[in-house]
Structure 1
Amino acid sequence: MAYAIIEASDKQLWVEPGRFYDLDRLDADLDQSLTLDKVLLVQDEGAPQIGQPYVAGATVQVTVLSHPRGRKVTVYKMTPKKKTRKKQGHRQDLTRVLVESITVGGKVLTANAADLPKSEADIDAAG
């Protein structure tokens, strides 16, 4: 099982080829292919390659699937004995990306064909 730990949207994510992930909104069009180069760790077969802070020559190729919005979070503030109440809601703008491949040292790591989703309906059903 090949995987990588990347830094994207000021977060560290464990990513695998053929799976999709939700990141904070990226300025990219639908079906656009992006290359993420902030790879902290790559594991394929054998010992993992750990970067200091990033693995040299390692990239993750992703494709933008959609730009959904996250679940609504309710923020409620109340000051006791003052009759002060404030209720707010927030929905985070997200970007759903599909990890196509992980490249390290010229070697391309991809998912098995059986693991890849067949259509957009399969992706929506899984997430």
Structure 2
Amino acid sequence: MVYAIVRAGGRQEKVEVGTVVVLDRIAADKDGNIQLTPVLLVDGDTITHDAKALAKVTVTAEVVGDERGPKIVIQKFKNKTGYKKRQGFRADLTRVKITGIK
């Protein structure tokens, strides 16, 4: 069983080959592929976390599509002063499929 922990979008995600993960918006190359930075690699009983050894590891992914996250409503209110503020936010996301861990 081979899996890796990768750093993507300020978070860490556990990925295996074939896993579909939703990340913050990432720009892909012209073929629609991206490289993710591994933090930890587990290959059976072997666990690799050394920076020099991880520099040789590549985790490749294919961009499935871009999407937007759910709407988040931000409301601020102060009692007895008449202050009300309403704001919305939707995150830009990218859905990727892991194609290889080498």
User: How far apart are the structure 2 equivalents of 1:75 and 1:92?
Assistant: 14
Q: Which position in structure 2 is the counterpart of 1:86? A: 85
Runs of 5+ in structure 2 lacking a partner? Answer: none
Going from structure 1 to structure 2, the CA distance change for 1:102 and 1:18 (only over 3 Å counts) comes to same
TM-score normalized by structure 1?
0.72
Going from structure 1 to structure 2, the CA distance change for 1:14 and 1:53 (only over 3 Å counts) comes to farther
Runs of 5+ in structure 1 lacking a partner? Answer: 104-127
Structure with greater strand percent: 2
User: How far apart are the structure 2 equivalents of 1:67 and 1:24?
Assistant: 10
Q: Would you say how many aligned residue pairs link Structure 1 and Structure 2?
A: 102
TM-score normalized by structure 2?
0.89
User: How far apart are the structure 2 equivalents of 1:80 and 1:53?
Assistant: 56
Going from structure 1 to structure 2, the CA distance change for 1:31 and 1:20 (only over 3 Å counts) comes to farther
1:54 Cα offset (Å): 7.2
Q: Which position in structure 2 is the counterpart of 1:122? A: none
Per-residue deviation, residues 75-105 of structure 1 (Å, max 9, x unmatched): 11111111211111110000110001111xx
Higher-RCO chain (CA-CA 8 Å, sequence separation at least 6): 2
What is the percentage of aligned positions where both structures have the same residue? 36
